[in-house]
Amino acid sequence: MSGNKISIPVRADVEKFNENIYFDLWQIQVKELLIQSRLHKFLKDRKAYKGKNSKKFSMSNEDWDDLDERAASAIRKCLAKKVLANILGITTAKDLWRKLKELYQVKCVSNRDYLKE
């Protein structure tokens, strides 16, 4: 390798979320997977991402949409079929992430209590 660049291959196995596992832990694992793939920014609104950088936003709408689709696909690959059925028609990573939190974060409070015991 040349210079200061380090290449670390990362392989992550994330258990498919099926309503029976702890949602918050699953969410952390999926977010880490998206960070490693440089797709985590698509969990936020494009305006929020654009506003963080004072420089001119250089990604085209087409590129943004393509990468957002990849992020959404990565999330869907980590979901069991039963959960997928509840998010049909949601196309953006941000909306998918928000809907999953809305549906499962609150419902998994009993899991959180179980883990504390």
Local confidence band at 19 (pLDDT 50, 70, 90 cut-offs): confident
Q: Which pLDDT value is given to residue 12?
A: 64
Torsion-angle region of 19 (φ positive above 0: left; ψ -120 to 50: alpha; else: beta):
left
Q: Which pLDDT value is given to residue 2?
A: 45
Q: What is the dihedral of CA 72, 75, 77, 82, to 10 degrees?
A: -110
pTM: 0.75
Query: How confident is the model over 37-65, as a mean pLDDT?
Result: 76
Q: Which pLDDT value is given to residue 56?
A: 55
Whether residue 24 has pLDDT greater than 70: yes
Q: Which pLDDT value is given to residue 13?
A: 80
Q: Report yes or no: 22 and 111 within 8 Å, Cβ to Cβ.
A: yes
Structure confidence by residue, pLDDT tens digits, 60-109: 889 999 999 999 999 999 999 999 999 999 999 999 999 999 999 865 55
